[in-house]
Amino acid sequence: MMHKFIPGILVVLLCGAAVALAVTLTRPNAETTRSTTEPTPTTEEGDTTVVDSKRGRDDIEMIVDGNTREFIVYRPEQLNEDEVVPVVFMFHGSGGTGEKFFDISGWREKADQEGFMVVFPTALKYHVYSEEKVVNGVVKYDVAVYQTKWNQFGLEEQLDPAFPDQTLADDVKFTQEMVAYVQENYATDPDRFYATGFSNGAAFTARLLVQMWDVFAAFGPSGAGRVTNDMFTRTNEYADGAFVPRPTMLMLGELDPKLTYSAGVDAFPMDETLAEPGYVMKDYVIDIYLDLLGLSDTYAYERTNRVSHFTFSDSAETPSADAFHVLIMENMKHIYPNGTNYPLEAADMYWTFFEAYTL
């Protein structure tokens, strides 16, 4: 069965589907307290508090633009204190939390196996119209919800007008300050920071590709994360100098109803049809990424166990450092695959991708 394709809707959904998508950093004006009893409250701009610390995990609160922001820093216990390691930032989806993705994403376990750090931040809550709600196969556009949301490009268009005084947080600034905090307080390799996210978190990851390309060496949006041409003019809002393309891997489910329905199909193709001119994914997603990253549409195609993998670069034989990868996961819906809800694990696949790249 085919459905009517609505380009604008696909753009919105890929820019952030819901869950249930050369600046020199300076240290924030922060006072850090590692508390074994009652934590010191964070009350002033720049104040940072470790509210709990156990088994390699630090729970952090930080005041950013008057808001109390929360994030989890996980550093495997087997690492020596002075051992310099990479860092992955994992951004949850709509309605999620850093705590949830600490528990379910598989990144904590992968960090234990491979010896790197992971940061799990939590977004603020907003009253929004959830354009991604799917009920009995029908996308509902007028469902008002109060949930956590990363400030992806275009989030202001989702705000519920019944709450006119809402102000969106500067989540890029929050991310900059988290990066600065982690670099100041842990032994890390500043050239090996990576950003990944699911759904609304993936859409925010795409924003970071555009605006924090000077900080992260590679990007991994999953379940959303489209870029648009109007974003190209915003690459210097947080970073100085000419935009530097970074390698990016986009992971989507073959049967993700939040994407396929509005694309006018029942499923995304698992063959090379996906990359043919005139196909919705090629015209509205792939081509714009290629423009942003300065790549041709030459690609290498590989069909492996449950995955159709497209690698776009200047040469199919020798992928460039800023290659763009598209993974279509067979029979997968709108989930973050963790080995329990799906046979493959996103953390495994993304880490294999990330570890090859450095700034």
Tell whether 251 is covered by a domain: yes
- Of residues 139, 168, 204, 147, the one with CA closest to residue 8: 139
Rounded to whole angstroms, how far apart are CA atoms 202 and 162?
Answer: 27
Model confidence at 22, in pLDDT bands (50, 70, 90)? very low
Task: For the beta carbon of residue 219, count every other beta carbon within 10 angstroms.
Answer: 29
For range 111-131, the mean pLDDT: 94
pTM over 0.85: yes
Rounded to whole angstroms, how far apart are CA atoms 193 and 215?
Answer: 7
pLDDT in the model for residue 132: 57
Tracing tokens 């949006």 back to the chain, one arrives at 221
Q: What sections of the chain are H helices per DSSP?
A: 7-14, 98-104, 107-114, 171-185, 200-211, 257-263, 280-281, 287-293, 346-354
3-state class (DSSP) for residue 187: coil
pLDDT in the model for residue 88: 99
Tell whether 1 is covered by a domain: no
Q: Give the CA distances from residue 155 to residues 92, 131, 229, 320, 337, in Å, rounded to whole numbers and listed in that order.
A: 15, 11, 17, 32, 25
Model confidence at 55, in pLDDT bands (50, 70, 90)? confident
Tell whether 359 is covered by a domain: no
Our count of domains for the chain comes to: 1
Pairing of strands 138-140, 144-149: unpaired
pLDDT digits (tens, 9 = 90+) for 314-353: 755 555 566 999 999 999 999 999 999 999 999 999 999 9
Rounded to whole angstroms, how far apart are CA atoms 334 and 16?
Answer: 12
Q: What percent of the chain has pLDDT over 90?
A: 72
The CATH number covering residue 127 comes to 3.40.50.1820
Q: Which two tokens stand for residue 346?
A: 């996103």
Tell whether 2 is covered by a domain: no
pLDDT digits (tens, 9 = 90+) for 64-73: 999 999 999 9
Render the burial of 31-68: b for 16+ CB within 10 Å, e for the rest.
Answer: eeeeeeeebbebeeeebbbbbeeeebbbbbbbbbeeee
Task: For the beta carbon of residue 153, count every other beta carbon within 10 angstroms.
Answer: 20
Q: Are 74 and 108 in contact (CB under 8 A)?
A: yes
Structural domain harbouring 240: 7-354
6 versus 309: the higher-pLDDT residue is: 309
pLDDT digits (tens, 9 = 90+) for 258-297: 888 778 889 999 999 999 999 999 999 999 999 999 999 8
Tell whether 43 is covered by a domain: yes
Q: Are 200 and 130 in contact (CB under 8 A)?
A: no
7 versus 189: the higher-pLDDT residue is: 189
β-partners of residue 54 are 57
